[in-house]
Chains A and B, each alone.
Chain A
Amino acid sequence: MDGKVAAVQMRDITKSFGPVVANDKVWLDIYKGEILALLGENGSGKTTLMNMLSGIYFPDEGKIYVDGREVVIRSPKDAFDLGIGMIHQHFKLVDVLTAAENIVLGLPGRGRLDMRAVAAKVREISGRYGFEVDPMQKVYDMSVSQKQTVEIVKVLYRGADILILDEPTAVLTPQEADKLFAVLRSMRDDGKAIVIITHKLHEVEELSDRVAILRRGHFVGDMPTAKTNAMEMTNMMVGRPVTLNIERPQPKDPQPRLEVKDLTVRDEDGVLKLDKVSFTAYSGEILGVAGISGSGQKELLEAIAGLHRAEGGSILYLDAQSGEPEELIGKDPRDISDMGVALSFVPEDRLGMGLVGDMDLTDNMMLRSFRRGKGFFTDRKGPHKLAERVVEELDVNTPSIETPVRRLSGGNVQKVLVGREISSAPTVLLTAYAVRGLDINSSYTIYDLINKQKERGVAVIYVGEDLDVLLELCDRILVLCAGRVSGLIPGRGATKRRVGLMMTKLGGGAEDE
């Protein structure tokens, strides 16, 4: 080979869940001193493959070699013993403990724990790779990015040489992502093997040395990142050529549709989540909402949809025909629809709020329409037809209309939800993280659907986390910072850096003008 040592070799790895083959005779090599990007669409088996390496699943067939020796990984502990550590998408930290306590949690040791020695070692690791972590800080005081740092240090503390990161940037701001990348590079230079699972091609190009691609559980190929490009990688992932441009037609005849004034919202614990937020959403345009996660995006949408009590301010809906303003505050979703306001909402929590996981497609279509008609009984024919139409028009991959939506993959779940929400011909469409966790193909289907709604004259509010997409898709971008409006800028011509600065600091980025 090229002189590098293969830290891990996976050979003919097969894993099925019932009739679904998640990995089919997959080969993968991971080298020391290299960052490998593992790319693939949803359901292509990336996470499953890595879970087998970190001891969470056990392969049905196949062999794993670490440093040339065949090994059996039965549990996460076995994986740690082999120097393999995985950083999951959802952090597994104890909130009330400090960083150092979380790091040593579960490690064997003698009677007395010397926290000072632990802290010293944590600082040593942090210093070596350029982390910023205070060993004595409590986890509940930390930002998402700090928590992620603790997870990484935890793995390094246990002596891991092979690090697997599952979509590490999904929750980070661009600035935080840059910091993470710097750290990963310095770990690579230290001779560690690093695998990142991701959907985002620009990250692959920016960070990785080599890229391996999975498609529907099969290994498609790997190559040095320098010798490929976004186009080729996408084609390999999807299995056919795809165009990578998001359209952004000019808004046609924009009219004020939703006027939010001084909206103030607290969460259940009384914490201020939105502080005098004001903006106007127009028909026929997409208003993007950017912000670090937890800056009040969720509360904003839920307050508009009548799901979250507002403490002050007003939300005026301006009727499409008459232009009559109607106050939405103090109304619940039922009142809002009874008022004749066609408001659709694609919430962040698809299976916990937007859909019922254990119900089939028809019953899920019925969620919005079951009250229609005078009778005591429900009408299932209409929803059944709608389900068939959504499956056909949005190309939903499902065994049947009678399949519980929980069994569908993330992208298909989202198509079902978006399909239902736009079927009611809304005048306002709220979407929260509409493409989170979706692969490229499904994401573009969703962008298309949103754009079609915009052309129909719908006022779309699009809460997103991928700044590249926000900048390409939205006509205007509202940036939230800790529950306040940090700025409202045109989408055309906005830069990532500026939006990123506005996200972290009220009115930040103004000096870029």
Chain B
Amino acid sequence: MNNGKVRVPLLHISRRAALPWYKAWGIRAAAIVLALVVCGLITTLLTGEDPIALYLSMLDGAFGTSRRAWVLMQNVAILLCVSLAVTPAFKMRFWNIGGEGQVLVGCLATAACMITLDNVLPNWLLIIVMLAASLIAGGLWGLIPAFFKARWNTNETLFTLMMNYVAIQLVAFFIIIWESPAGSGKVGIINQQSQMGWLPQVGPNRYMLNILTVALLTVAMYVYLKYSKHGYEIAVVGESERTARYVGIKVERVIMRTMIISGALCGIAGFLLVAGTDHTITTTISDNRGFTAVMVSWLAKFSPVFMVFTSFLIEFLGRGASEIATDFGLNEAFGDILTGVILFFIIGCEFFITYKLHFRGFKTRGAAENV
């Protein structure tokens, strides 16, 4: 049919067997290097700036002063906390994209306690009540969509997403009630004089307590997912609901339990934000972390340990990007372009870890030997 001329496809794709870990990480490292090179090229072409100077500026933005480094670590901690929170749900294939709302209700519960109970309870008890309230609020916000999913098989993606907007409006409502000073449309710093309900400073920096708390949560989540009976049930339900039922796991119960944990952890993130750092509440206090956490968790393949790295990477890129924008007088959007390019490479390289490409050149050599 083709006049004796043998045409081999230019390219075909086959699935790899498992790659050894060092090769897989080699590919990932190569992807990051490649991403940096491409970013450099784009920078030079679009702006004429020296890419090296740009990268140095990113580093400076993230670590330039000890204050910057602490702020970065604090942001990593909060993002990591939200990522840890959504992970058990994702492992269960329950697409919880309601982290944003769960964090917000955690913030709201914390702020409500700080504002209404500051003259009623001693400080230590107030903080415990705040923590409990944020856990319950977040847990409830997680439980509602889980309950509907378990009972009527509603779509959890839409449900959790919509719960975000409910939470935002709820916060907006209470901001007007708690407005201070009147007419500002803001809550302002809560208990600025008495510092009631503020988390105490531990160690050298006021962010230290948050960072330590999240570090502990990371270890706890790792152990929970890997070694506990609950963690095992979550994995089985996620892999195959039919298998779970077959071995007698009560799937509905696992879904609801896991979402309470997921929501409660988001609540803790809200607690840390309000009581630990911001001491106020706004509708944007969560800063889209509920969504960014989805990416952090996926990039780390749901492993709490890798999430330390991926949340750091995301925060570092974000911080560096805005530094470039100010240093070089570039638009903020330019930083986002670079972040996008880097993420593209990091996510894209997973394809090469899973699949292998065969090119025509290599093929004909093999075939020629058989003539």
A-side interface residues toward B, CB under 8 Å?
A: 11-12, 17-20, 58, 60-63, 69-72, 74, 81-82, 305, 307, 332-337, 345, 347, 349, 352-359, 363, 366-368, 370-371, 376-378
A212→B236 CA distance, assembly (Å): 42
The answer to whether A18 touches B16 (Cβ under 8 A) is: yes
Q: How many contacts between A and B, using CB within 8 angstroms?
A: 100
Q: List A contacts of B236 (CB < 8 A).
A: 356, 359, 367
Contact of A307 (CB < 8 Å), options: B1, B16, B246, B250: B246
B residues in contact with A333, CB < 8 Å: 245-248
Q: Which of B242, B247, B370 is in CB contact (< 8 Å) with A352? A: B242
Cβ contact within 8 Å between A72 and B242: no
On chain A, the residues within 8 Å of B230 by CB distance are: 376
Of the residues A11, A332, A352, A378, contact of B228 by C-beta under 8 Å: A378
Contact of A332 among B17, B240, B248, B358 (CB under 8 A): B248
Residues of A within 8 A of B370 (CB): 11-12, 61-63
Main secondary structure on A side of the interface with B: mixed
Q: Answer yes or no: B14 CB below 8 A from chain A CBs.
A: yes
Question: Distance in Å from the Cβ of A397 to the closest Cβ of chain B?
Answer: 16
A-B contact pairs, 27 of them (CB 8 A): A17-B14, A17-B17, A18-B18, A58-B9, A60-B363, A61-B366, A62-B367, A70-B6, A72-B6, A72-B8, A74-B7, A333-B248, A334-B248, A336-B248, A337-B248, A352-B240, A353-B242, A356-B236, A356-B240, A359-B239, A366-B232, A368-B247, A370-B229, A371-B229, A376-B228, A376-B229, A378-B227
What B residues does A352 contact at CB under 8 A?
Answer: 240, 242-243
CB atoms of A19 and B227 under 8 A apart: no
Most buried by A among B9, B228, B231, B245: B245
Whether A347 touches B9, Cβ cut-off 8 Å, given contacts A20-B17, A358-B239, is no
Q: A61-B370, A355-B243 are in contact. List 10 more A-B contacts (CB 8 A).
A: A18-B15, A70-B6, A72-B7, A307-B246, A333-B246, A333-B248, A352-B243, A358-B239, A377-B229, A378-B227
Give the residue of B2, B4, B16, B243 whose beta carbon is less than 8 angstroms from that of A367: B243
Number of contact residues on B: which range applies? 35 or more
Do A347 and B246 touch across chains, with their CB atoms under 8 A apart? yes
A353 to B248 Cα, complex, angstroms? 12
Q: How far is the CA of A192 from the CA of B235 in the complex (A)?
A: 51
Contact bitstring B217-234, A, C-beta under 8 A = 1, else 0: 000000000011111110
Chain A neighbourhood of B363, CB < 8 A: 60
With A12-B370, A356-B236, A377-B228 known to touch, is A70 a contact of B4 (CB < 8 Å)? yes
Interface residue B23 (Cβ < 8 Å from any Cβ of A): no
How many Å lie between the Cα of A484 and that of B8 in the bound state?
56
- CA distance in complex: A307, B228 (Å): 26
A358 vs B249: C-alpha distance when bound (angstroms): 18
Q: Which residue of A lies closest to B370 (CB)?
A: A12
Which of A70, A345, A347, A376 is packed against the most chain B CB atoms within 10 Å?
Answer: A376
Return B354 CB to nearest CB of chain A, in Å.
Answer: 11
Assess whether B12 is interfacial by the CB under 8 Å rule: yes
A133 → chain B, closest Cβ, in Å? 31
| Shortest Cβ-Cβ A-B pairs, 10 listed | A18-B17, A334-B248, A333-B248, A356-B239, A353-B242, A367-B247, A61-B366, A377-B227, A353-B246, A74-B9
Residue in chain B with minimal CB distance to A74: B9
Which residues of A have CB within 8 Å of B248?
Answer: 332-337
In the complex, the chain A residue whose C-beta lies closest to that of B14 is A17
Of B6, B229, B236, B247, chain A has the most CB atoms within 10 Å of the CB of: B247
Q: Is the CB of A19 within 8 A of B17?
A: yes
The CA-CA distance from A363 to B232 in the complex, in Å, is 9
Smallest Cβ-Cβ distance to B362: which chain A residue = A60
- Taken together as a complex, chains A and B put the C-alpha atoms of A371 and B249 apart, in Å, by 10
The A-contacting residues of B in range 1-42, CB under 8 angstroms, are 1-2, 4, 6-9, 12, 14-18
